[in-house]
């Protein structure tokens, strides 16, 4: 389960930013999850609550946005959205000659502190 590691890394960054700005508490965070990250949303939520216990982020509101699997198909020359990270094939023409725009990572997009 790599969600626990992702959450621990996110918490480290959140606490660094909170300390840098003299915050007493972290109240909310907005995360963007890459379309090909293989992150399970339920596991991420569970792990986030777990790693935040006893920290400035305890009780922090978690907002998660799943990035869509945007790609460019060289076969039919159009922007497409892949339906699954497991099927890397154009839904329009069937081509596998794609340029993937989505990523595998997780980003902190916004942090709310007191």
What's the token pair of residue 57?
């982020």
Query: Per-domain residue ranges for the chain?
Result: 3-68+103-113
Tell whether the torsion through CA atoms of 51, 53, 54 and 59 is positive or negative.
Answer: positive
Question: Of 3-7, 18-22, 37-41, 100-104, which range is least confident?
Answer: 100-104
- What pLDDT sits at residue 7? 96
Please tell me the predicted confidence (pLDDT) of residue 101.
Answer: 77
Mean pLDDT of 10-37: 95
Work out the pLDDT band at 84, boundaries 50, 70, 90.
low
Q: In whole numbers, what is the pLDDT of the chain averaged over residues?
A: 90
Contact 14, 57 (CB under 8 A): yes
| DSSP output for the chain | -THHHHHHHHHHHHHHHHHHTT-S-EEEEEEEE-TTS---HHHHHHHHHHHHTTSTTTTPEEEEEEPP-EEEETTTTEEEE-S-SS--S-TTT----EEE---S-EEEEEEEE-
Q: What are the phi and psi torsion angles at 21 (to 5°)?
A: -105, 10
Residue 29 binned pLDDT confidence (cut-offs 50, 70, 90): very high
- What per-residue confidence (pLDDT) applies to 47? 96
CATH of the structural domain 3-68+103-113, one choice from 3.40.50.450, 3.30.2320.50, 3.40.50.2300, 2.40.50.140: 3.30.2320.50
Question: Of all residues in the chain, what percent carry a pLDDT higher than 90?
Answer: 67
């Amino acid at each position: 389960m790599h969600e626990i590691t992702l959450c621990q890394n996110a918490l480290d960054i959140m606490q660094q930013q909170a300390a840098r700005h003299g915050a007493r508490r972290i109240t909310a965070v907005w995360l963007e999850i890459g379309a090909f990250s293989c992150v399970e949303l339920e596991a991420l939520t569970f792990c986030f609550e777990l790693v935040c216990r006893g920290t400035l982020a305890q009780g922090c509101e978690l907002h998660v946005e799943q990035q869509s699997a945007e790609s460019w198909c060289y076969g039919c020359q159009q922007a497409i959205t892949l339906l699954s990270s497991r099927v890397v094939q154009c839904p329009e023409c069937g081509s596998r000659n794609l340029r993937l725009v989505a990523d595998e990572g997780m980003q902190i997009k916004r942090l709310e502190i007191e």
